[in-house]
Structure formats: structure tokens, C-alpha cells
Amino acid sequence: MQKYASGLSGNISQDLEFSANFEIQNGQGKELFHLISHKGEMQLLEGISDHPSLIFSSRERTVIELLQLGDDLLDVLLAKPFYIRLDQIDLPEMDHSFFFSSETPSGWPLTYKLAIKESVLLIWEGEEDKDDISISIKPTILRDLIRGEVNIPFALIRGQIKVRNKKELFSVLKSFGLSLT
């Protein structure tokens, strides 16, 4: 899996700084590595960081499916101008975790959970719990959503994005100073 991460083009936002641990499960066990982004430079290192901003855990097949969505998914996400340093902010604890579901064009299921614990963003493949803020995304808009080309309020109205536990979602967004509009 490191071969995919090592292929980053370097088109990374100068304002995005973080350390991210990756745990990728494959037929031989787990592959552990971490990425560090600093001033637009990306470093891929063996093992895991002691102080990550993000921990990502997934099956190798799911990551490969995500990378095959077109463009270079990692480049698209990392090139966005975030204007934050994840290593210098305290992310608020969340009472609820998010559950995102969709599928790739080949039909591979994408089921990720997201939570914040001790100022670390955790993303892992998982199952939906009844207390989760559940967000279901139609596969037909997934690629454009990742690229930031979807009008989210319009997609919600058209049913392309469905949300369960909306009250909790608005509460979490408010704690980050965000809204859906």
C-alpha cells in the first residue's frame, strides 16, 4: 500500500500540516506507515507516529478502490487550501461518531466511521451504530463530492446525500463553527 502513498505528486496545500498514521489490512496482516506534511512537502515513513493528527485504518482493497475513482484522490484532497495546521489545533471531542456509506463504481462498499478522541481524528472501516450521525452518499456523486464539486444543500434536497440524526449533525457542525449552507 505504501507504493500508492509514495506516488503523491507533491501538489499539497502549503497550509496543510499534519502527521497521519495508516494501518492497512491485507492478506499478510497489517501494514503500518505514516505521512507527514510540512510546508507542502510530504514524507512517507515506516512505522507509526507517536503524535498523529489522524489515524486511518482500512482494508487494502477498499483503499485501492478509492484510489481508482479517478484523478489522484490523495492529490485532490491534499491540494485543497485548508488553511489550518492540524498539528496545532485541539479538535473538540465528539459525543457521536459519523458513519459514511457509499460504494465505488465497481460496486465495492465504502463504510467508514469517523470520530475525534483526544484531539486525534480517527477514520476506520466499520459498521453503523444507532447513535451514529449517518451520511449515505449516492455513488453517482461520490467522486464529485470528494473533489468539492457538489452543492451539498442541493444534493440533500435531491436525496443524493441522506443524513440520519440531523440534530446531532448540526450540533457537531456548530462546535466547529460550520454549517451546511
**Between 170 and 32, the higher pLDDT residue:** 32
Stretch 115-134: mean pLDDT: 89
* Domain boundary assignment for the chain: 2-128
In tens, the pLDDT along 32-76 reads 988 887 776 777 888 898 988 889 999 999 988 887 876 555 555
Helices (H) and strands (E) in the chain, counts: 6, 9
CATH topology of domain 2-128: Nonspecific Lipid-transfer Protein; Chain A (3.30.1050)
> Which three cell numbers mark 71?
484523478
> What is the side-by-side order of every strand in the sheet holding 98-103?
41-46, 29-38, 18-26, 54-59, 120-125, 109-117, 98-103, 133-137, 161-164
